[in-house]
Amino acid sequence: MRIVIFASGSGSTFSYFAQHQKGYSIVALFCNVKTAGVVLKAKALDIPVVYVDKDRQWKKELDRLAPDYILLAGYLNIVPEDVVEAYSGRILNIHPSLLPKYGGKFFYGERVHRAVLEAGENETGSTVHLVDKGIDTGRILGQVRVPVYKDDTVETLSTRVQAAEKPLYLKEFLRYGGIKCEH
């Protein structure tokens, strides 16, 4: 099974998927930030990098690669509607909250964790969902719950959620893709 990963940041989720390639292979990284850490990680693994720009010429490269699935891993752009339509039911995302809470246009990265702490929540987590034309509105495939402690900071909460979300994302992708592997 061929997958493409879209990412914008350090690449910790990209690395997690790269370390667990059984039943699938990462055929490319699509990135919208040329200086992102994930770019160096992909190049170190000889995984091609495609830069996502506003003129969308990269879609031709995506179609040429013909991935079975696209995984969003800390990708901070909205996926264009034509891509969502072309790969309907085959684009997955990981979101750092228990959707539908703290989802949508302005909720990403540290903003989510800050909002959780400011609201006084006693738990948060992460959600794997299909990407549709909305923002964080696609069908939920799985969630993992993470407790919120009284002395949590944005950083401590973020660290715990990220540690829990990577195994969840891999498990739900493998299940949804019909790949039988133990991870």
Hey, which residues are catalytic here? Answer: 95
Q: Which of 93, 130, 119, 121 is nearest to 108 (CA)?
A: 93
User: Structure tokens of 133?
Assistant: 């034309």
- SS3 for 50? strand
With beta carbons less than 8 A apart as the criterion, state whether 173 and 69 touch: yes
Query: Which has the closest alpha carbon to 70: 57, 55, 56, 85?
Result: 85
Report the C-alpha gap between 14 and 71 in whole angstroms: 9
Q: Is residue 11 classed exposed, middle or buried when 0-12, 13-18 and 19+ CB atoms within 10 A define those classes? A: buried
Contacts of 85 (CB under 8 A, 6+ apart): none
Q: Which residues contact 107 (CB under 8 A, 6 or more apart)?
A: 97, 115, 136
Query: Position of tokens 């006693």?
Result: 122
